[in-house]
């Protein structure tokens, strides 16, 4: 797989999003571990998770623990795998999502994530979502402290706008390495953030790059241009979507979620799908339904 850069690390151009393996509708553990192993065997070296990726109130960190278990039983070189996790979002267990961007909470959450993931430090730790009750600089300042303390190796932010990206870069003293925002054929409002990351040399990690758990399977039906390009190449529309995102900028590393080995095995093949400039332009200009 082609390699792309996140901070000081090289990762495969397609990552794996772990959320579907731990929230509502999740598969059994055996299938999840087979999915993670299939991704790793196919060349994936970035796995994205969060302490909030769980279903029930008493299982904070479910996905982190699952990934740690899968990595411990994988026969490959685990040192090449970058696990990115996040803090600042919470799930009380009733299906809702809440926020806590207080610095003291983020520091405690990061240390708890490190315990679940194992190792000496978290490879990439990201502030999950801005908390309107806490000044953004204070939340990101917690990441700066975690970097200085050696709890985390690299720092990123998620669900951020251009002003917050610039502010985080300033607070972190130029050490911001990634921005993880929603971006897909159906959700393109993060294009300014993608373009800013390309300008600054910061990795841009599209979450739900295929449109989300409930809509990814219908991508071709919802987007005619992607279906037509897929037919021309004899590949899935999902693979075309990921190849399109990769073509937008060399800083883009999509992280499609998966809960089946077959899904991530198809996704990683976007790495070798070469789209023409005309195809990229056509997909970029598609009128959304």
The single residue of 53, 105, 125, 136 carrying the catalytic annotation is: 53
Q: Tell me phi and psi for residue 133, to 5 degrees.
A: -90, -5
Pairing of strands 9-12, 3-6: antiparallel
Examine the residue annotation and report whether 53 is marked as an active-site residue of this protein.
yes
- Secondary structure percentages of the chain, helix, strand, coil, to 5: 45, 15, 40
> Can you tell me the distance from the alpha carbon of 52 to that of 64, in angstroms, rounded to the nearest whole number?
9
> 277-284 and 224-233 helices cross at what angle (nearest 10)?
160
- Report the helix count and the strand count for the chain, using DSSP H and E: 11, 11
Angle at 135 between CA 129 and CA 141, to 5 degrees: 80
State whether residue 173 is helix, strand or coil: coil
Instruction: With CA atoms as reference, report the closest residue to 64 among 109, 31, 27, 25.
Output: 109
Burial of 105 per CB tally in 10 Å (0-12, 13-18, 19+) = middle
State whether residue 10 is helix, strand or coil: strand
Q: Which residues carry out catalysis? A: 53
């Amino acid at each position: 797989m082609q390699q792309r850069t996140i901070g000081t690390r090289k990762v495969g151009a397609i990552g794996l999003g772990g959320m579907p393996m731990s929230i509502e509708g999740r598969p059994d553990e055996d299938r999840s571990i087979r999915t993670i192993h299939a991704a790793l065997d196919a060349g994936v070296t970035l796995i994205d998770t969060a302490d909030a990726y769980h279903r029930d109130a008493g299982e904070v960190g479910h996905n982190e623990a699952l990934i740690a278990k899968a990595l411990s039983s994988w026969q490959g070189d685990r040192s090449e795998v970058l696990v990115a996790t996040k803090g600042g979002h919470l799930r009380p267990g009733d299906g809702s999502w809440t926020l806590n961007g207080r610095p003291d909470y983020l520091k405690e959450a990061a240390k708890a994530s490190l315990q679940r993931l194992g190792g000496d430090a978290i490879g990439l730790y990201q502030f999950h979502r801005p908390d309107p009750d806490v000044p953004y600089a204070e939340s990101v300042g917690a990441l700066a402290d975690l970097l200085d303390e050696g709890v985390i190796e690299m720092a990123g932010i998620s669900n951020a706008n251009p002003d917050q990206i610039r502010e985080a870069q300033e607070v972190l003293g130029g050490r911001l390495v990634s921005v993880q925002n929603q971006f897909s054929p159906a959700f393109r409002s993060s294009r300014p953030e993608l373009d800013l990351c390309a300008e600054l040399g910061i990795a841009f990690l599209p979450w739900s790059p295929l449109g989300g758990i409930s809509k990814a399977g219908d991508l071709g039906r919802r987007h005619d241009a992607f279906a037509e390009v897929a037919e021309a190449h004899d590949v899935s529309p999902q693979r075309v979507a990921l190849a399109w995102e990769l073509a937008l900028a060399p800083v883009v590393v999509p992280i499609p979620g998966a809960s089946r080995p077959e899904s991530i095995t198809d996704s990683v093949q976007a790495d070798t799908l070469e789209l023409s400039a005309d195809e990229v332009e056509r997909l970029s200009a598609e009128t959304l339904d």
